[in-house]
Structure 1
Amino acid sequence: MNERSSLHRAGLPTALALAVAIVAVSSSASLIVFAAAPALAIAFWRNALATVVLTPFAYGPRRSEILGSSRGVKIFAVLAGLALAAHFATWMPSVQLGTVATAAALVATQPVWQGLIAAVQGRRPALSGWIGIALAVAGAAWATGADVGVSRQAVLSDILALLGGIFAAVYTALGERARVELTTVTYTWICYGTCALVLLVVCLAAGLPLGGYDGTTWLAILGLVVGAQLLGHSMFSYALQRTSATMVSVLALLEVPGAALLAWLWLGQEPRAAALPGVALLMAGVAVFILGAARAARTTVDPSLTD
């Protein structure tokens, strides 16, 4: 499936799912900063609790799907879980080490890696898609800035956030393959369960505390489970069956201004005035990508629309 057919397949339910996902994931970074717990422990709990919530809907009613689906598809779901664990293990610590704005900007390079993965798979985005990606990523970098050179901790935060974007692209691409056959509930149950198991091993090996938190920290973790995890990642996974990984990744860039706004209102991290043109450039890039994909889809359906 190329970018031209991707948007044509997506309808109103997919658009609503993506809108809910963007709003939900925008709250993630601020909740991570607010929670008084190690980032990897937070990542474990958000995936473990989400897996528990999904189990009655996955293992029981969909047991035949789990057992009957092809081995290759289930392998893709497990690999997606491994990639998701790597994403959380890099991006979430970057938020606590640096700032919400910088972490959101650098992880927003995901579409660049997503486009490269799609190109390797023989599904290169159209020229308008590449232009939109370039504008959106440039806008994200302009809007939020970076901490390179400020301190060693800032540099480490930047590197981790950048790696988080790479692993997010791998996770999305693998999920796109798994979603060809698996339903959203089954796929997310396998993916989140795998991710939680990997993060549990990492936390235990590193000696990180998995309990003893105060009430506000547990509320923040629950907020991450309900919001960013179940309504965010799960809605993105739902959309993957109806549109491409590159489209999902570009739309996910809208998390950048959303996260920056919430960090301003909640954490007092006031955005720089100089960042506002970058936000506008980010929005313009997303618009270019969507409008270009929509035009390409119409052209595919009706070749007479070509110039």
Structure 2
Amino acid sequence: MEERGQESEAPPRWLPFVVLGIGLLAISFGAILARLAQGYGLPSLTIATLRLGLAALIITPIALWQSGHVLRALSRRQGLLTCGAGFFLALHFATWITSLEYTSVASSTALVTTNLLWVGIASFLLFGEKPSAVMVLGIVISLSGSLLIFWSDSQSSVAGSDPLLGNFLAIVGSWCFSAYLLIGRRLRANLPLPAYVWLAYGSASLFLLVACQLSGSPLGGHAGAAYLIALGMALGPQLLGHTAYNWSLKHVSATFIAVVTLGEPVGSAALAWIFFAEAFALVQGIGFVLLLFGIYLAARGEGR
């Protein structure tokens, strides 16, 4: 009872925005680490499985210690909804990480973060949530920045082996992440964070494990460095990044979290420039500025 009482206390108004900023920085490393793992020969499904599976294993003691009584009292409806969230999370990582094999980091991350459009539409149609005019303006500007990044990358000769397929997979990943956010927001209203994270990550990793078995993607027999990179993905982008998003679901709207994820292309592109010496095009730079400005406007709209 004490745990639920503590979590129900409203945090300072600025705290969710700081937590989301830290989560965004951690998640921005996701595409970089996935590309490095692919370079060591890890199949995309294996990368997704290890990322979520290791994250679930790491958080298991915390979940059982802090939320064991909640997990034992889980209702059938909560269990089914959590499995649904895990299913869409598994599809999100399977499609998005695979997209990195066929298209550029800039295009993949820009398209996969268009989930704010789908979340905003679904929140309005399903839950009657009407975003403020300032947030709508932020969404429009942010989407404009994403489109500029995508257009700039489509003009490049190094977009990838099959940009059309890669871009489509990234969009599918965006749809799946939107469903994951919407289901998660409902579940987080009654589930403590450790319980929800453990259930969502664990169920997603089980779905991916089945997919690996069916597709023949091996989990073993790879270089040690590849598994270290997978562990880094579990600790950084997954546990720190996505858990920050999950914590924030109880304090800000799913639409605003979707807007924040639009900063991922900016962070990923900056990290790609640092680690891979990938240069910025002028149009890309304009798109990044629009993305950041749109996120700022959306934050003001959320604050109101």
Q: What TM-score do the two structures reach when normalised by structure 2?
A: 0.90
CA contact (8 A) 1:115 1:246 kept: yes
CA contact (8 A) 1:136 1:286 kept: yes
Q: CA deviation at 1:60?
A: 4.0
CA contact (8 A) 2:103 2:160 kept: no
Match of residue 72, structure 2, among 67, 75, 83: 67
Matches within 5 A, 1:13-92: 13-35=15-37, 36=40, 37-92=42-97
Query: Counterparts of 1:111 and 1:221 in 2: how far apart (Å)?
Result: 27
Q: CA deviation at 1:147?
A: 3.7
Partner of 1:131: 137
CA contact (8 A) 1:69 1:182 kept: no
2:36 maps to a residue whose letter is: F
Post-superposition CA distance 1:6-64 (Å, at most 9, x none): xx976333222211100000000011011121111010011111111111111344221
172-181 vs 207-216, which deviates more? Answer: 207-216
Query: Counterparts of 2:113 and 2:144 in 1: how far apart (Å)?
Result: 10
Query: Counterparts of 1:30 and 1:292 in 2: how far apart (Å)?
Result: 31
Query: Counterparts of 2:93 and 2:260 in 1: how far apart (Å)?
Result: 19
Does the alignment pair 1:193 with 2:195? no
Partner of 1:305: none
Match of residue 143, structure 1, among 110, 127, 149: 149
70-79 vs 284-293, which deviates more? Answer: 70-79
Cα distance, 1:41–1:64 mapped onto 2, change above 3 Å: same
Please, which runs of 5 or more residues in structure 1 have no aligned partner?
1-7, 298-307
139-148 vs 60-69, which deviates more? Answer: 139-148
Query: Would you say how many aligned residue pairs link Structure 1 and Structure 2?
Result: 288
CA contact (8 A) 1:73 1:177 kept: no
Q: CA deviation at 1:92?
A: 0.7
CA contact (8 A) 2:59 2:194 kept: yes
Cα distance, 1:151–1:18 mapped onto 2, change above 3 Å: closer
1:55 maps to a residue whose letter is: T
Q: CA deviation at 1:126?
A: 2.1
Q: CA deviation at 1:202?
A: 0.4
Matches within 5 A, 1:70-219: 70-120=75-125, 121-145=127-151, 146-147=153-154, 153-219=162-228
Match of residue 248, structure 1, among 230, 250, 257: 257
Query: Counterparts of 1:71 and 1:180 in 2: how far apart (Å)?
Result: 16
Please, which runs of 5 or more residues in structure 2 have no aligned partner?
1-9
Cα distance, 1:74–1:80 mapped onto 2, change above 3 Å: same
CA contact (8 A) 2:103 2:161 kept: no
Does the alignment pair 1:11 with 2:13? yes
Partner of 1:257: 266
Does the alignment pair 1:225 with 2:234? yes
Q: CA deviation at 1:152?
A: 7.2
Aligned-residue Cα RMSD (Å) equals 1.9
Q: CA deviation at 1:113?
A: 0.4
**Identity %, equivalent residues:** 32
Query: Counterparts of 2:11 and 2:231 in 1: how far apart (Å)?
Result: 34
1:43 maps to a residue whose letter is: A
